Amino acid sequence: MLRYTLRRFLGAWPTLLILMTMAFFMMRAAPGGPFDTEKTLAPEIQANLDKKYHLDEPLIKQYGRYLYDLAQGDFGPSFQYKDYSVNELIATGFPVSLRLGGTAIILAFFIGSLLGTIAALRQNTATDYTVMATAMTGISIPNFVLAPLLILLFAVNLQWLPAGGWNDGAFKNTILPIIALTLPYVAYISRLMRSSMIEVLRSNPIRTARAKGLPEHTVILRHAMKPALLPVISFLGPATAGIITGSVVIEQIFGIPGLGRYFVQGALNRDYTLVMGVVVFYGVLIILFNIIVDVVYALLDPKVRY
Amino acid sequence: MTAQDINALQSLNSKAEIKGRSLWSDAMQRLMMNKAAITSLVILIIITLMVIIAPAFSPFEFDEIDWDLILTPPNIENRHIFGTDAIGRDLFVRTLYGGRISLMIGVIATLVSLLIGISYGATAGYLGGKTDAVMMRIVDILYAMPFMFFVILLMVFFGRNIYLIFIAIGAINWLDMARIVRGQTLSLKRKEFVEAAVACGVSTPRIILRHIVPNLLGIVVVYVTLTIPQVILVESFLSFLGLGVQEPDTSWGALVNEGAQDMEIAPWALLFPAGFLATTLFCFNFIGDGLRDALDPKDR
């Protein structure tokens, strides 16, 4: 098991290296530097700026320096927020995003698998159709459509909840963004859970369990749940990536000071180091999470050999 | 042999000519039974036709500004049946025009990913061995990348170019396609007809193209109907952030973004494009589901 985990970690390095390399060269290939303003700077100032940020060195040396800094966990200074390093910006934005995204993924997992199981147990009944139709709606309405609709209904018309803002993470402010972020993934997971549960319920081990005369809830909870959850577990990797991407939009719509919002602002302001920092940071996070999901999967699935 | 026997033989013969049931006719029959899928197909065809034809019949151009009619609600008398936007452009025409771009991006980017995915997956699966291992390892490595962020970076760095959107989105989506196609190819290449082709001395590229790829069609069709809505979603997401299609051109995502800004005073500017976008995604998903059930009815 330990060896498998280690091997998965080693296998992540090429991905990580390609990620950083692509990010770096894309940034450098982009037309327009971060200091391009309306008025041209005096050549001396330009030269000084270039020197300070090592933009005057040969590309390969810059690349080496960039990797070296990253290896030490240093994302460099932000070009736009002059007094902050990218690390500091990530440190302020990430806890907010983590709270949103973390809650969303946990809720999506539990509600989704619960709904999927219920639909599978009542296959081809009104309950099943209702859950599946709702899930289809959840998949088809993108979160950036859902979020304004939620605001329109609950904040503007009914005035139950605030339309946006973070308010230091007050519970009321988190409800709408979390719903908007969670709902599509509840839909995906419940569909996934339904079809895998249906398949598992037809399998031989379950027939045996029933033949033994075990009560239905024992059959479901002790015997069917674990194998049925496997596809859902392996979906958690892509789901996390999706929720992180989704949080970019959600934070933008609700005006939440998270990492996603920095990312969009940075992207629009051509704050290269900030944007790069966020991409690499999230990339590492997603890769790490994928490894954890794989290891958990291997632990749960007796068919995986390691 | 009596005349009766001959008659019996002939009638047997004609019975034998009764058409066999192929996989496709079987699947077609099952699909026809699926009301949700067929309804979706009809709605989708209507939306597609509307998007292509209807703007021509409207008295307004998609970029025609009317400063006297800013954010007017839907009104049949002044012929702005979906109302107008923040600078007085007709929303009916803009919604359909945006749909044209959204659907076009959906279809073209899917074709791009299809082309790359099929050729890559079929080659890896058919050649097998070390080539396969290396090719699929590359897919694994790319698979773990947060591509959405890269698309955003591309848009930021190289400008908001519509062709770049096709390429960027197509370049992400081929990974899934390649995996699915490879899996299918692995089982296909052990079939007798491939062996026969090899025995006849057909060249490898020709076997892949003539014998493997046509047999992948079923799974590809299902996957295409499920990829198109994904692509539309990605494009809308980019346009929503202001990184996709640029003014005065528009797409459903861009319209939703504009609508969301004025939704307190003019909810119709949000609701019409959002409705079209969601309905289209809904229909594609239902058709994809229906096709999958029709071709592989094990879940029903």
pLDDT tens, residue by residue, B157-206 = 776 677 777 777 777 788 888 888 888 888 888 888 888 988 998 888 88
State pLDDT tens for residues B89-109.
Answer: 778 888 888 888 889 888 888
> Closest Cα partner for A117 from A240, A207, A232, A214?
A232
Q: Which of A144, A195, A290 sits opposite B256 (nearest CB)?
A: A144
Hey, are the CB atoms on B299 and A195 less than 8 Å from each other?
yes
SS3 A77: strand
State pLDDT tens for residues A11-46.
Answer: 778 878 888 888 777 777 766 555 555 556 677 777
Q: Which of B145, B153, B253 sits opposite A275 (nearest CB)?
A: B153
- Quote the pLDDT of residue B300: 43
| Minimum CA–CA partner of A191 in chain B | B289
Q: Which of A14, A31, A282 sits opposite B149 (nearest CB)?
A: A282
Tell me which of B159 and A214 has the higher pLDDT.
A214
- Quote the pLDDT of residue B299: 45
- What is d(CA B176, CA B231) in angstroms, rounded to the nearest whole number? 13
Q: How far is A169 from chain B (nearest CA, A)?
A: 24
State pLDDT tens for residues A41-70.
Answer: 677 777 777 777 676 777 788 888 878 888
Q: How far is CA B138 from CA A235, B91, B120, B218, B296, in A?
A: 20, 45, 11, 26, 30
State pLDDT tens for residues A154-194.
Answer: 877 787 877 777 777 677 788 888 988 899 899 989 988 99
Give, for A88, the enclosing helix (H) or strand (E): helix A86-121
Hey, are the CB atoms on A278 and B149 less than 8 Å from each other?
yes
Residue numbers of B between 151 and 170 with CB closer than 8 Å to A: 152-159
Q: Which two tokens stand for residue A32?
A: 């327009």
Q: Which two tokens stand for residue B127?
A: 């050649």
Q: Residues for chain B: how many in total? A: 300
Helix, strand, coil shares of chain B, percent, nearest 5, are 75, 0, 25
- Quote the pLDDT of residue A30: 66
| Chain B residues within an 8 Å CB radius of A151 | 263
| Chain A residues within an 8 Å CB radius of B252 | none
State pLDDT tens for residues A218-231.
Answer: 888 888 888 888 88
Residue B231 has pLDDT above 50, yes or no: yes
Longest CA span, chain B: 94
Q: Kindly write down the DSSP assignment for every residue of B58-117, as one continuous string.
A: SSS-TT---TTSSSPPPBTTTTBTT-B-TTS-BHHHHHHHHHHHHHHHHHHHHHHHHHHH
